[in-house]
Structure 1
Amino acid sequence: MSSPQDFRLGGATTPRLIEVVALQPSDAENAQSGGADRIQVCAWSDGEPWSVEPAVVRAIVHAVDLPVRVT
């Protein structure tokens, strides 16, 4: 039997994963309290990806107890 964290896709049970993009620590905190499984950190300007400031990544990592991916 599937748990609430699983969903059926093509007859097979696939675990779900909720990944939320965070631009600042408060985004990550809200994502965690909302049930996210993982945080993705990225920065955008004029529709283009930019390097994320290390201080922002550090603050996000310290703000949550979730895995954090930086892209």
Structure 2
Amino acid sequence: MNYLYIDESGDLGLRGSKYLLIVALLVDDFRPLDKIIKNMRRNKFKKELSKANEVKANKSSLKLGHTC
């Protein structure tokens, strides 16, 4: 089975972003990607991501942004 992850970045509002970015990632097996995400949340960025439902680049540290 294939898994498709889709995400967008940008704001289409009246005073929104100049650009809109849409990214898609197709994988055959979600487990390796899931494991990487869980390890990042559990270990490297535990404090920063502990209460985050969603990782927002504009509200993250430079260290997190350069690692992902």
Normalised by the length of structure 2, the TM-score is 0.21
Bigger helix share: 2
Normalised by the length of structure 1, the TM-score is 0.20
The structure with higher relative contact order (CA 8 Å, sep 6+) is: 1
